[in-house]
Structure 1
């Protein structure tokens, strides 16, 4: 019979693997379907790929909020957004400098800033309830409508990849469905293993969400962005992170808040939320300066993320 700690480690590892595999299947299927109907790379990254890689945060946050506490969900979202900026974009830029497209700077990045601003404004009183959740989802609907309008008025050129032009391919639909199943299972395992392990060590639910669960659910973004950087598809890498951070706040917290009110601790208002604001402001400034993220920028981002983790250690 396995001990509780060993069993938690097994669940944790299995959950991370299942989330990674599920997100890879989801990204592959959803991305091909989107390209098949003529979406631009930047738009695919900030919508389909971003939503697909945000699915782990959604499942983990919702399951954690219902079964454990809302600190799990809130910590997973804030921690994942900080990890996306500091760790994922940082590593991607270290691999290869990332060019920032005009589409991303003019259409997508401002919404990421606005989503963070909205979180601070609506969460400053210490609670995100059903009304705030509805506001998040309405803003998300407006963002999606804006992107659809942009795509309709600025259609993308035809895609040469013969595998991406088959419309609603049954194979790609199967990949999406298989990815969703793996994400559901992996989310349950990750929440169970992560909370069991760190709770046994006396770690709070919020720190569990900010560290283990945030890192675990950021693996799909890391995989997608690193693959994009290696292949030179920097629009996918940038769009993936910008879109994921938007969906994490507006979709994940919006849905969780409709399920159950999210209580924000004073420590979160003093440390984690300001850290998210600072990280977002820094990376936007880096993107705007020269329209690229250099390897030096990547090193600064990764170093900042390590410093953030150090501040979390009691």
Structure 2
């Protein structure tokens, strides 16, 4: 019988760890580059924060989803997306709330949370016939466009009230979302380098994480679905985990909560939408009977917690984190 320590210290284990590290570094580099370029060409910092940066943090899921779909392993991509959304609520939001209670802004409740619920609901409905095809993918992208319009109008309407400080940071009710330093009059070559390096790191990191994680877990009897829901989901959630934990430590509650909500929206509408347009995504019986209900349960739990008092407290964080550990335990073969 294979020993876990031996497997993790093997070549596959080392490439698995390297893949996770590259995914994290790639997402960080991509965020800096994309946000810097957007600000450099004149986009408002508030709009950049809720669109470019939010979408960039979902790049690991996008790479995993597209590559797995092209390789004929659509179960890996779907598992990574569903598992990542569950991890964002249970692990990321739960851990961040344990560090410091998180207040939830009215903007997130009124504009973002409804789209998070809609995205999860559409995913479950579209998956009931065992396949998410190009039509469903196109619908996801249309809803994404609607979400972007809502964000744009909201950011434009509140930009003066929110204010932008000299460093380009967006301030809203005392919360500061740090943005990269850029010259508004020109596009800095440094951000182009960040963007290119980030894309390269994401490509190699996603391939190594997929290949090594799949090889290791297959040896322990895991299926494609379980690989996607566990190691790939955790690996692709690392940027959100790091960002939300750091935000919680710094007292930037709005960013920590908005990061989770925004990521869950983009994971379904943008990532799965693009993947489904490229190649049909097949939904197994186990996904429909367990994974989708789990996604809905965590989504509803997050909404209930946010609506109740407008704060995610430490007790709420403990419950969410405990629920995620139970979810992972139930997945083990």
Q: Given that residues 35 and 164 in structure 1 are in contact (C-alpha distance below 8 angstroms), is that contact kept between their aligned partners in structure 2?
A: no
* Rounded Cα–Cα distance in structure 2 between residues aligned with 1:137 and 1:18: 28
The list of structure 1 runs, each at least 4 consecutive aligned residues, that deviate by more than 3 angstroms after superposition, is: 28-40, 43-46, 162-165
Partner of 2:219: 200
DSSP-derived class of the 2:58 partner? helix
Question: Is residue 27–residue 202 contact of structure 2 (8 Å, CA) maintained in 1?
Answer: yes
C-alpha separation in 2, matches of 1:252 and 1:100: 25
Q: Secondary structure at the match of 1:244?
A: helix
> Equivalent residue for 1:240?
259
2:98 equivalent in structure 1: 94
Q: Does 1:166 align with 2:183?
A: yes
Supply the RMSD in Å over aligned alpha carbons: 2.0
1:159 Cα offset (Å): 2.1
Q: Is structure 2 residue 114 aligned with structure 1 residue 110?
A: yes
For 1:111-170, what per-residue CA distance to the aligned partner results, in whole angstroms no more than 9, with x for missing partners? 001101111111111110111111111111111122112222322412232664523333
Listed one character per residue, the Cα deviations across residues 63-102 of structure 1 (whole Å, up to 9, x for unaligned) are 1222251110110000000000000011111111111111
Deviation at 1:262, TM superposition (A): 0.9
1:292 is matched with which residue? 311
Return the offset for 1:191: 0.8
Look up the SS of the partner of 1:218 in the other structure.
helix
Q: Identify the range of structure 1 (239-248 vs 43-52) with the bigger mean alpha-carbon deviation.
A: 43-52
Aligned positions of 1:222-233 closer than 5 A? 222-233=241-252
Cross-structure match for 2:144: 140
1:150 aligns with 2:169: no
Q: Identify the match of residue 59 of structure 1 among 63, 76, 94.
A: 63
Equivalent residue number for residue 280 of structure 1: 299
CA distance in 2, matches of 1:118, 1:45: 25
State the TM-score, normalized to the length of structure 1.
0.93
For residues 47 and 149 of structure 1, the distance between their equivalents in structure 2, rounded to whole angstroms, comes to 12
